[in-house]
Structure 1
């Protein structure tokens, strides 16, 4: 057994560049895992700078200085974010408050339907099960629970000061990342070992894939969110803006997000129309949007960025989402692609010796 482990170690870890790559990955992983809270503004700024680098680079090729290009791109981006925030967030907030207000009546209507079903088919839902269900719902809707919920909201409101600080720090960091890109990259090289050729190879392989993925994911969120909102609004579905945003954001979690967001859409449509033609048309249209997303939009946007089996993608979402929350879910596919690139690029002495033998 010891001999097998020794041979495996010599095969996989005899190359100094492989050791360097391993330490770089472990160091970055530990820094993200233990310092993600403290480094959150820096990480957000890095992601935004990565996204905005392409227009800055294109403007630089036209003869515009990086300082001017970074300023123009950042101002346009912040303007769009401000318009989106003040134009969309108030509507979503109002619809969210309205949904919470209407929730008790919706639950009462649902319980009436369930009681009728229990009376007709007692073998599926018994009276005791209904009573326990009602007790749990009453606990959720009692006064003390609402008070506790209000305290939590106030606690979240206290973090607005932190968000205001981020609103100042993140744009400044993005500007300097874009403006002084080469200077910062050259300065950071001193913190990495000199024999990092393998790490450089992995990075060059992942650079374009990560950019394509993030760009494609943002485009997918916008297209699916806008298309869903327009369809819900045309159908006259209540809370259409809120549900449209949820549908757009659901694409962040492959295969799982669409399933999770289907439930509130179906419930709202059912409580609004019941089992009617409108309910059927809405669910049919929503299914068509999801089918077009999975079979047309995703292949167009991610054909060059994602080459992973669905099982690997779901496993990556679970693992990285558990480690880093929302950010882990968002970057689950790029991180899984990074793991795959590292495995493919990792040196293997047996293969190298075989290639050398064949060449001789």
Structure 2
């Protein structure tokens, strides 16, 4: 007897930064790839789709160990719910989510030292050198030696806050280097599709290239200074360097009706994506109050031209 084919469950509703729900017709599921998939198939998916979401790249226990390290740093700021474990990273419901959004640890300038310390912590840098992660990068790319940019980012997204990452492709922020890097997005803990993880715009790499070429042409016509051309914050860009924060309107108008792809990410998963893949984070609506934690890493093949502005570790107000 043939196996019964079950229709995929509809993706959960996603909210925009304006609080409204995104039209479910433009939301679907990201395709997962098991770790034991033949390498040739992995490479095909990455090059054709612009991303590959690989399951179980890292041991979940290692991921949760770093989640505990991060939120142990954060605990004195009062961000966590009283009586809960830093390993769980549960948001303090007494706080106003609107004051705890964007990159990093806490909203107050007095907490910037905590955020800077986390990014320079030995345990974080050991996590970035994880042998399983580095092996996967080399397998996927075929590089003999990979270089990771020192400006790696740790981001968290508390339930009810605005999405920390608006619509963008990564080359926007790394224009002083060649667009030949691979981004690894690593969720640090489980993150359901309604928990604030990344959403990818399907088949969007060519669109990203076209948008960038348009920006570059306009900058050349205006004879814009080099330092302004490589900036994601020049006069042609939005205030925070993103393409937009209105994910529904932008997808329908600029994205020509492409769907946003979401996922139920689990600790140990890694998404690798192209410099041109258009993506953003969704609004965290996690029913358990979990804070979405993730890190963004950029890998190059040794010897190519990198964006030297990203050669230093992240620190608050570094202008990038």
Indicate the TM-score class for this superposition, using the shorter chain for normalisation: under 0.3
Q: Which has a greater percent of strand?
A: 2
Who wins on radius of gyration, i.e. which is larger?
1
Q: Which has a greater percent of helix?
A: 1
Using structure 2 for the length normalisation, give the TM-score.
0.27
Higher relative contact order (CA 8 A, sep 6+): 2
